[in-house]
């Protein structure tokens, strides 16, 4: 079964909009675990507009499932991850000004930088994943960076799913085959939801983990958090 990691950034966004500690980010993460999620993902940005650096340190000692920290690897992010020592770090090529992640790594252009950063995380016993699109060359070069996993950027799949789901998923099937052939493990995320998740998971060979935040938290407003986590888990069975 593919694991579900719940991205709790949107919980933090709601908290930060009013100040104080409502909703409680740590409690929400623990509740997601209690409801069956096999991981918690956070994406701290330099302006701390949702997850704050302190949230990372508050979460690390209390989580019992896999903790995944994703973000752009500037020096402050690297230092944060090394101090927190999560199970996994996911490197995303989004500079501070972007609203949300919107592209995968160019693993040819940034190979040397990624190699150095990944080596540093491995020295601290942290599994690495890099956010990537379906280009076979970029996936093959991702292997050369030393990363353990790739996270397939699924926005194009989600955007085209309702038009033609078979055409939408074909590039991801081919990308997964390339990753499997070169020995990279596979995660996925971005705009996956209750409508498109099951089909994706059923068709991607070797899919180990999906990270879902925005859609899951939005669904929870209507369906309740416990029920929503359970519904997402069912799509992955």
Contact 215/191 with Cβ under 8 angstroms? yes
DSSP 228: H
Candidates 33, 66, 70, 133; catalytic one: 70
Which alpha helices (DSSP H) does 60-213 contain, by range?
75-84, 111-123, 136-144, 155-160, 165-182, 197-203
| Active-site annotation holder among 33, 43, 66, 133 | 43
Which residues pair with residue 127 across a beta bridge?
Answer: 88
3-state secondary structure of 65: coil
Query: Is 70 considered catalytic here?
Result: yes
Tell me how far apart the alpha carbons of residues 175 and 204 are, in angstroms, rounded to a whole number: 9
Indicate if 50 belongs to the active site: no
Q: Is 183 left (phi over 0), alpha (psi -120 to 50) or beta?
A: left
214 is a catalytic site residue: no
- Helix (H) / strand (E) element for 209: namely strand 207-212
- Looking at 33, 66, 133, 190, which residue is catalytic? 190
Distances (CA, A) of 136 to 64, 83, 117: 35, 34, 22
**Rounded to an integer, what is the distance from CA 167 to the centroid of its chain?**
24
Q: Which of 73, 153, 51 is nearest to 121 (CA)?
A: 73
Q: Please give the helix or strand (H or E) that residue 171 lies within, else none.
A: helix 165-182
| DSSP-assigned beta bridge partners for residue 128 | 89
Tell me the catalytic residues: 43, 70, 190
């Amino acid at each position: 079964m593919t694991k579900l990691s719940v991205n709790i950034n949107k919980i933090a966004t709601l908290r930060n909009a009013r100040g104080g500690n409502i909703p409680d980010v740590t409690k929400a993460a623990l509740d997601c675990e209690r409801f069956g999620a096999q991981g918690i993902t956070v994406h701290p940005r330099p302006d701390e507009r949702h997850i704050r650096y302190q949230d990372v340190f508050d979460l690390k000692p209390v989580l019992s499932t896999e903790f995944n920290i994703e973000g752009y690897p500037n020096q402050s992010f690297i230092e944060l991850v090394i101090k927190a020592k999560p199970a996994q770090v996911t490197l995303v090529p989004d500079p501070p000004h972007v609203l949300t992640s919107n592209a995968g790594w160019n693993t040819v252009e940034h190979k040397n930088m990624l190699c150095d950063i990944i080596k540093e995380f491995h020295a601290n016993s942290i599994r690495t994943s890099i956010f990537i699109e379906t280009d076979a060359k970029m996936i093959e070069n991702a292997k050369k960076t030393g990363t353990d996993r790739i996270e397939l950027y699924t926005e194009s799949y989600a955007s085209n799913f309702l038009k033609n789901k078979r055409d939408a998923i074909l590039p991801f099937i081919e990308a997964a085959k390339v990753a499997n052939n070169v020995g990279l493990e596979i995660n996925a995320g971005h705009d996956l939801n209750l409508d498109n998740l099951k089909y994706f998971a059923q068709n991607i060979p070797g899919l180990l983990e999906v990270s879902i935040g925005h859609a899951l938290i939005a669904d929870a407003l209507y369906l309740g958090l416990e029920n929503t986590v359970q519904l997402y888990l069912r799509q992955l069975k």
